[in-house]
Structure 1
Amino acid sequence: MTNDHPADGHKPLLLLIGSGAQIWREYMLRAMATRYRLHLLSQATPTWESPYIATYSTVNTLDPEAMIKIAKGSPEDFAGVLTYEETRVESAAVVATALGLRTSPVEAVHACRDKFAGRQALKAVGVPQAESIAVGDFEEARQAAERLGYPVVVKPRALSASNGVSLVRAPQDLAEAYREATAIWFDEVPTYERPVLVEEYLDGPEISVDAVCRDGLVTVLFVARKRIGYAPGFEEVGHLVRADDPLLGDPVLLQVLQDAHTAVGLTDTVTHTELRLTSAGPRVVEINARVGGDRIPYLGGLATGIEVGLVAADLAAGALPRTTASRQRVAAIRFLYPERDLTVESVDVDRERLSTEIHDVQVLAGPGRQLRLPPADHVRCRYALVVAVAATEQECEVALTRAAAAVVVRGAPLD
């Protein structure tokens, strides 16, 4: 199917696998479309994506062979293949490899999807990280926790966004953490004989780093400081990006990032790496062969002027991405959660109470939606998000706190 604009005919054509949800990824498509035409491979007929794409095909986007067939049957050659969906990164690597286009090796991308495979690759060359043991049942989990020593972290092997991740401080809490790690699952997530990881707990604040890896060389785009809540879980309740973050020039952190990418074998991809700044230095939590979620790349663009959508598109097409900041701001996002479990009746925004630093407010839950706080549910229990842009961290935080009070959720309590 086509949606071509005549003036766009000179733009290179990219194959985009999946589009994600509008509220989380529209800014990516908007940026890509300024320089490229996009042929979207989608599970269903596009809706909100239509203004940004030139053509599309409906296909199972977890079936590389079906997508390769479509790509090879195209009347026009593709300049590159890309995706920003976690569950599609391996398929995208397979398709790009088959078409002879720039990508990281499939095995390297797989090592990012399978958290234990990634751990093993990092361990083999001594990249600082948490010690990790894959387990297949509770007894193995108990033995692993005893071997590592409490506290430990228990997490699913293949999920993201801190789903099912718990801090376990004592043996009596292990059974519940193991149950949570095995109870949370999603379609399109691979299964493993040993599906749970028991890991050493790392102290210190957690950060994420979005970067571009080109020909194996890592260039950091920006650092996000995480806000974590709902202990003993690790719910990501907010993020903050500073264009002048001192970590951008930290030689130890930069070396750890480069070593981690080299260890798993990544060569050409945008990445999202999570780390803990421990008392012994930065240590890797995980490395992902995709851009960050939770609108972190959006914050990066607001703070630095770097459009990650364009960076990813340029990289896929073989062009040299622009990675230099053109802006010096602070951008932050806060996710809003109800005080207790409830069925939503309304979410109202008093926009007259929003300060000038508030860049965006989005309602995430409509009437009838059930919101259950962690650990019963995770990111899906947010009822709104607010984004602030300012000159300082303090100005952002003040604006977000005021904005949170201006967004009111009403509903009936859940038993």
Structure 2
Amino acid sequence: MATLLMVESWLRSTGHSLPPLIRRLGHDYVLLTKDPALYPDSSSGTRHPVRGNASEIVRADTNDPDAVSAASRAVASRRRIDGVLTTCDYYLPTVATIAHELGLPGAPPDVLHTATRKHRVRQALDAAGLPNVGFAVADSYDAARDAAASLGYPLVAKPVDLNSGTSVQRVDDDAALKDAFHEITAEAHNTRGQARERVVLLERLVEGAEVSVEAIARDGETTIVGITDKSLAGPPAFVESGHMFPADLPAADVADAEAYVRDVLAALDYRHGLSHTELRLTSDGPRLIEINPRQAGGYIFDLLRLVTGVHPLEQLVRLSLGQPPREHEATDVGSAAVFFVISPRPGTVVGVAGTGALDVDPDVVRWQLSVPARAGLPRSNDAYLGHVVVSSASRADARAKAEATVGSLRLRFADGTHARPLGVPSVEALVGAPVHS
């Protein structure tokens, strides 16, 4: 049995999946957190998995480099620590630093400091001479307006250091740019209380299908696990409405995307860890949207598990312990998809009609809804009211099945009105959509 040091975690998704998985693999972990209350009990009184599965909880200011370093060394001085990990983007550089200090497996801290800042990744691609999109970094609205005049609209405005698509938006003119700049730079700290870089990354908008490439690097050798296709709910934000694995792409597009991602990872010197790299497949070839030096979120890790037979979070544990990744296993699942339930308008959603059919649908692997809930306009991937995961023996039709399943639901609002979830194709489109096998 190995003992891991877990430095914070996401609350949902991987935060629910990783802790019990560590136990099932025969290991335990010490949770290092600034506040255990970040991981609250459920309404029924069940302990949050992050706290409930920990063999020990150590409280330390995980946002203070000196404090977290001292706490980590103190834990390692009284019990064996075999690896360090997190599922939370904001603590990836911290984990890399702790692993380096304790002599444990992990990517170099400077690599993670680059890979978790969107503008530094763009700069690294330019330095390596890789295909890139035009971009600029602005620390004032005047600088942003000057950059926009040089780059030309339409543009995408992004924070350089947030996650889940937060505040990422299309801007088509100076007025929209001004609103975006002030929104992106308004908060001095992220949701975990860490000081932010209050600058805006502007990028030329590129057109093309959006995909993500899932990969594993160990000892400098990169293995491509596969490619996930992605659907978006619609402008001006870039909220993801669903995913399918594997993506149904021509072989040439697959080869181009995989080769490009290998080059991107090499430009960052990313030689150890999972990665989730988002691309647009443009008419001029793949172009980077952003890279995440971690496992895929948005339940993509579940899709990979269903198709490949291996859980990406198990691979995270193995890499943290210096072990080689597990080989994929044969499954009877050709494709798997998740589609998210998103309100099409602001309001209080008090119920969802049509859920009874989900329990008897043999293609539905799992579904979850969190209602009643107050819904706003979707501005990030935190806008989800729930999700449905679907599998198929066919390699290409899980997405259509997931969309049709979510499209059969009706959201019921407190004012008595009903609406279909956002981002679901029309019934006519679903019925007429070809299914490739």
Indicate the TM-score class for this superposition, using the shorter chain for normalisation: 0.7 to 0.9
TM-score, with length taken from structure 2: 0.83
Where 1:65 maps in the other structure, the secondary structure is helix
Aligned residue for 2:225?
221
Q: How far apart, in 2, do the equivalents of 1:54 and 1:243 lie?
A: 39
Amino acid at match of 2:63: L
The answer to whether the aligner puts 1:340 opposite 2:330 as a matched pair is no
| Superposed counterparts of 1:4-403, under 5 Å | 11-35=1-25, 36-42=27-33, 43-44=35-36, 47-49=47-49, 50=51, 52-74=53-75, 75-171=78-174, 173-183=176-186, 186-187=190-191, 188-192=193-197, 195-242=199-246, 250-327=254-331, 328-347=333-352, 350-354=355-359, 355-364=361-370, 366-367=371-372, 369-374=373-378, 377-392=379-394, 393-403=396-406
Note the C-alpha offset of 1:154. 1.3
CA 84–348 in structure 1, closer or farther in 2 if over 3 Å, else same: same
Where 1:211 maps in the other structure, the secondary structure is strand
Amino acid at match of 2:5: L
CA 215–249 in structure 1, closer or farther in 2 if over 3 Å, else same: farther
Q: Which runs of 5+ in 1 are unaligned?
A: 1-10
Does the 8 Å CA contact 1:80/1:317 hold for their aligned counterparts?
Answer: yes
Does the 8 Å CA contact 1:353/1:403 hold for their aligned counterparts?
Answer: no
Q: How far apart, in 1, do the equivalents of 2:17 and 2:162 lie?
A: 24
Q: How far apart, in 1, do the equivalents of 2:353 and 2:99 lie?
A: 45
CA 288–23 in structure 1, closer or farther in 2 if over 3 Å, else same: closer
Note the C-alpha offset of 1:108. 0.8
* RMSD of equivalent CA atoms: 2.6
Aligned residue for 2:431?
none
Note the C-alpha offset of 1:378. 2.9
Q: How far apart, in 1, do the equivalents of 2:382 and 2:415 lie?
A: 17
Stretches of 4+ aligned residues off by more than 4 angstroms: 243-249
CA 31–243 in structure 1, closer or farther in 2 if over 3 Å, else same: farther
Where 2:408 maps in the other structure, the secondary structure is helix
1:34-83 residue CA offsets vs partner (Å, 9 max, x unmatched): 22222222330663225543333233332343333333333322111111
Q: How far apart, in 1, do the equivalents of 2:16 and 2:245 lie?
A: 20
Q: How far apart, in 2, do the equivalents of 1:337 and 1:189 lie?
A: 28
Does the 8 Å CA contact 2:229/2:248 hold for their aligned counterparts?
Answer: no
Does the 8 Å CA contact 1:223/1:247 hold for their aligned counterparts?
Answer: no
Q: How far apart, in 1, do the equivalents of 2:247 and 2:209 lie?
A: 19
Note the C-alpha offset of 1:283. 1.4
Does the 8 Å CA contact 2:343/2:411 hold for their aligned counterparts?
Answer: no
CA 182–21 in structure 1, closer or farther in 2 if over 3 Å, else same: same
Does the 8 Å CA contact 1:340/1:413 hold for their aligned counterparts?
Answer: no
Higher relative contact order structure (alpha carbons within 8 Å, sequence separation ≥ 6)? 1
1:152-172 residue CA offsets vs partner (Å, 9 max, x unmatched): 211112112222122233445
CA 119–23 in structure 1, closer or farther in 2 if over 3 Å, else same: closer
Note the C-alpha offset of 1:349. 5.8
Where 2:337 maps in the other structure, the secondary structure is strand
Does the 8 Å CA contact 1:345/1:412 hold for their aligned counterparts?
Answer: no
Q: Which runs of 5+ in 2 are unaligned?
A: 40-46, 418-437
Does the 8 Å CA contact 2:32/2:58 hold for their aligned counterparts?
Answer: yes
CA 67–101 in structure 1, closer or farther in 2 if over 3 Å, else same: same
Q: How far apart, in 2, do the equivalents of 1:101 and 1:64 lie?
A: 18
Where 2:397 maps in the other structure, the secondary structure is helix
Amino acid at match of 1:344: V
1:242-299 residue CA offsets vs partner (Å, 9 max, x unmatched): 2886669944322221221121222212111111111111111211221122111122
Query: Taking every aligned residue pair, what percent have the same amino acid on both sides?
Result: 28
